[in-house]
Structure 1
Amino acid sequence: MLLHFAVIAGGVLASGLSVAAEPVPLVGFGDSLMAGYQLPQEDALPVRLEKALVAEGVEVTIANAGVSGDTSAAGLARVDWSVPDGTKGVILELGANDALRGIAPEETERNLDAIIGRLKDRGIAVLLVGMLAPPNMGADYAARFNPIYPKLAERHGLAFYPFILDGVVTRSELQLEDGMHPNADGIAIMVERMLPVVRDFVKTVRDTPK
């Protein structure tokens, strides 16, 4: 009887440990900055973030749902099918192409707000990643565009990383020849700077009651 009990107890304990060790499934949802434009897939931001987190002992998977060229409107059109059921959290990065095309910031805000709403309706947590308007768009455009992200993060109570290209945007050695997209070294800087925020996001998602 004692042996039988020990086997049962051991099985229950092993099962509990297995459940506890299940990785948290995230999706990186965005444009070329998420997709890894002109980079090997292993150097894309979601892949490098996942690798860095796992190296720290954080059990997580981050699927790459970045599409080069996507605007916030394109993201809204595909968010329902690009983020699969079972996803616990989304790293949302969109808006750079809106700014490059001079799309009205008010439209960008509406689209991002709708994306966040759809994800929240599905019980999916969101880490919002911000963008800044290019200087050539002018001060008026920047004054309307740049506050979109902190405003949405506050409105929805989201985890927030203010600027996706922090530490990279002014350094040509960290960019591709187009002067806009990060190279592999640039991605490394982005991962280093984003890591604490993403780590906390994963912990929050993991600890949130189902």
Structure 2
Amino acid sequence: MQKRHNVTAERIPAVGQVVSTAIIVNMLMAIMLFASSLQANAADDNKPIHIAAFGDSLTSGYGVRPTDAFPIQLQKHLKARGHNVTISNGGVAGDTTAAGLARIDWTIGDDVDAVIVELGANDALRGIDPKVTRENLQKILSALAGRNLPVLLTGMRSPANWGETYSDDFDAIFPELAKEHSLLFYPFFLDGVILDVKLNQKDGMHPNGKGVAEIVRRITPSVEELIGKVKAQRAAEKS
């Protein structure tokens, strides 16, 4: 005959004990998830804002030491003002707006948070039809808008040798596009530097290290507005 085994009360956990254990486990899991969320948010808050300076030789640092190039000087200046930023150099000497458009996809990576667009000087120097320049910039700005990237558009001015009509048509491109796309706008990238022999290289067209520093000083308030847009965008994405 088989022996009967008596099941004692000691071997059966009380219902209240099981429920309490489940509650404790759930609470611990919730705390762990909350702590993980806090760590993720803290990491996001500490993540540098990556701004791509997208342009031509005025951006790339043609004729100056690498440490004097616009992106490097701008990053250093902004960090000194307390901003956690990285400014990448997306400038290529000689680029027209067409050349910029052709390389935008591989120049502006997925890690970019905002873009400073500085193009057009070479179009004006070559006398390219302002309609072509406008169309290229329109496509560049539309591509960046499609990626939801805040943009600071910098203006350029035509040399006088092409005549008044050309200059008027060319110069109008930048403020009109900025208005159309609701962009931050810095009217003239070379403001305060152009024609100043102390701030330019011997070619009279490219700023020297001191000239780049002056550009950085003048454009900083606009770049800080750009940084503010990125921060607002990040905050909205969290909510």
TM-score (norm 2): 0.82
The residue aligned with 2:81 is: 56
Matches within 5 A, 1:1-210: 15-208=40-233, 209-210=236-237
| CA displacement 1:60-111 (0-9 Å, x = unmatched) | 1110010000000000111011111121111000000000000000100000
Q: Cα offset for 1:21?
A: 1.8
Q: Cα offset for 1:10?
A: 7.5
- What is the identity, as a one-letter code, of the residue corresponding to 1:129? T
Q: Check the 8 A contact 2:55/2:100 in 1, yes or no.
A: yes
Using the aligned pairs only, state the percent identity: 45
Pair member with larger Rg: 2
Q: Cα offset for 1:112?
A: 0.2
Aligned partner of residue 146 in structure 1, secondary structure:
helix
**Matches of 1:110 and 1:11 in 2, distance apart?**
47
Q: Check the 8 A contact 2:195/2:204 in 1, yes or no.
A: no
**Matches of 1:67 and 1:87 in 2, distance apart?**
18
**Matches of 1:71 and 1:11 in 2, distance apart?**
47
Aligned partner of residue 29 in structure 1, secondary structure:
strand
Report which stretch shifted further, 41-50 or 12-21: 12-21
Structure 1, gaps ≥5 residues long:
none
Q: Cα offset for 1:15?
A: 4.9
Q: Cα offset for 1:16?
A: 3.5
Q: Cα offset for 1:135?
A: 1.9
Moved over 2 A (4+): 7-19
Aligned partner of residue 163 in structure 1, secondary structure:
coil
Q: Cα offset for 1:14?
A: 5.4
- What is the identity, as a one-letter code, of the residue corresponding to 1:23? P
CA RMSD across the alignment:
1.9
TM-score (norm 1): 0.92
Report which stretch shifted further, 177-186 or 78-87: 78-87
Aligned partner of residue 217 in structure 2, secondary structure:
helix
